[in-house]
Amino acid sequence: MLNLVLIGLNHRTAALDTRERAAFEAARIPEALQTLSKRPSVEEAMIFSTCNRVEVLARVSETPPGLASMEEFLRETSRLLQDELDGKLYRYTEEAAVRHLFRVAASLDSLILGEPQILGQVKDFYGIALRAGTVGNHLNSLVQAALHAAKRVRSETSIGEYSVSVSSAAVELARKIFGRLEGKQILIVGAGKMGELAVRHLKRSGADRVWVSNRSPEAARALAAAFAGDAVPYGDLPRWIARSDVVVTSTGSKEQLVDLELARRILSERNGAPIVFIDISVPRNVDPAVGTLDGAFYYDVDDLGSVVEANLQERRKESSLAERIVEAEVANFCQRARGLEVAPVVKELEGRIREICGTELERYLRRAGPLSAREREELELLVSRIAGKIAHPLITHARASPHDPERQSAYLDMIRRIFKLEKSTES
């Protein structure tokens, strides 16, 4: 058996307040891992704790007591009562635990399908466990295989190529107008979080200069500093809009900052150069009719939402191919892992059979009296062949069921009992 157990709760099974109580601060994970690794049946351990999931993964000596140890650990560290975990905590063992980890690493279990951050988070938590000394050969092999599966999903599918946030959708729309964003100038009006995120994405995509305007000059200067940009006077908006290629409005104002007439004047000043208005405000800060003017492109929250939903549909299409890749990688890992489990049993079985045959040969030789070197050699060869013929069908059968783990594990346990093999061959 793989002896893998994973328990946890995530955005699908538990509300945020429950996840917050179960969460581990990064600084206390090493100590928590040390505590967990000393629990009954727990041999190796890792902890994953993000805003969307809290999970504990372990290699255990025996599954039921190992699972009980992990649940008790989570209850104690989170101070969640059993009835608070009932119906929220999921439990995976053996191949199901492998599949869950692979899907998490490949962002198939994320709140936003295909988001790239989870792969880095898996690496981070793996590194924490490595430094804490709670990862051994088994979990090391498992995590490396999960990272490999995730990289295959990234390279062989387009699941991560479609923008699925409002801010990244704004970049996608701006690119459709300009092709490249290098050298373009951005004006952000207001200090709203969504507007800030949109500008951050635009800046990362190559946009050159950022201007910030806000009713509060202090807030404008603080936000401008985050982008190495400049704060500009709120009372002089028309001038700065005319100098900008992309204008992001994100204010709480109930008044329109850009009406149709102002937009016409701005376009005239720009001598035909296109301008993109990304209006993330509710109520809207820009008259939607601005988008009907030649050279002006207008997008509001609903337009951005439509892009996000269309891109999510594309990601969902790609997810079927990603799931097939994950399934193939899960099967490969489990087959390799079970092959490693069989190998020490086979080696010790061969040794035990030859030891039994050798003991019986020595007993016979003591009774038979003196033999010539040739006679002794022939007897030893005969006994060796007998040992091989006894071992061969047993070994062949042990290797014959890699896709039926329960049957294979039961057979290996029987071999261990019959031939009194060391329990250590299980690890």
Distinct helix (H) and strand (E) counts, the chain: 15, 10
- Please give the single-letter amino acid code of residue 217: P
Cα–Cα distance for residue pair 304/201, rounded to 1 Å: 14
Q: Cite the active site residues.
A: 51
C-alpha closest to that of 137 among 4, 48, 28? 4
CB 88 within 8 A of CB 18: yes
Nearby residues of 362 by Cβ (< 8 Å), 6 or more positions away: none
Question: For tokens 């945020």, what's the residue?
Answer: 16
Torsion angle in degrees (nearest 10) through CA of 201, 264, 299, 187: 20
Distance CA 130, CA 126 (A): 6
- pLDDT single digits (tens) 282-341: 778 999 999 999 999 999 988 888 887 887 888 888 889 999 999 999 998 987 776 656
Tell me which amino acid residue 117 is: Q
Cβ atoms 408, 338 nearer than 8 A: yes
Residue 406 banded pLDDT, cuts 50, 70, 90: low
CB contact at 8 A, 237 and 190:
no
Distances, alpha carbon 259 to alpha carbons 10, 264, 287, 379, 387, in Å: 45, 9, 5, 105, 94
Give dist(CA 248, CA 211) in Å, integer: 10
- Please tell me the least confidently modeled range out of 111-120, 127-136, 173-182, 217-226: 111-120
> What does the pLDDT read at residue 427?
43
Q: Cβ neighbours of residue 33 under 8 Å, at least 6 residues apart?
A: 45, 46, 47, 128, 129, 132, 134
Q: What is the DSSP string of 337-374?
A: HHHHHHHHHHHHHHHHHHHHHHHHHHHHHHHH----HH
Classify burial at 42, counting beta carbons within 10 Å of its beta carbon; exposed 0-12, middle 13-18, buried 19 or more.
buried
Domains, the chain, in order of start with CATH, read 4-161 (3.30.460.30), 166-309 (3.40.50.720), 335-426 (no CATH)
Q: 407 or 205: whose pLDDT is higher? A: 205
The predicted-structure confidence for 359-371, as pLDDT tens digits, reads as follows: 988 888 888 888 8
Cα 31 from Cα 164, distance rounded (Å): 37
Q: What is the 3-state secondary structure (H, E, C) of 187-199?
A: EEECCCHHHHHHH
* Residue 5 β-bridge partners: 58, 93
CA–CA separation, 307 vs 315, rounded Å? 12
Predicted local confidence at residue 238, as pLDDT: 96
- Looking at the whole model, is its pTM more than 0.85? no
Among 99, 145, 123, smallest CA distance to 50 is for 123
Which whole-number Å values give the CA distances from 113 to 43, 76, 116, in the listed order?
Answer: 33, 32, 9
**pLDDT score for 47:** 97
Query: For the segment 24-80, what is each residue's pLDDT rounded down to a tens digit?
Result: 988 999 999 999 999 999 999 999 998 889 999 999 999 999 999 999 999 999 878
Between CA 60 and CA 42 the distance in angstroms is 5
Question: DSSP letter string over 64-106?
Answer: HHHHHHHHHHHHHHHT--HHHHTTT-EEEEHHHHHHHHHHHHT
Query: To the nearest whole percent, how much of the chain has pLDDT over 70?
Result: 93
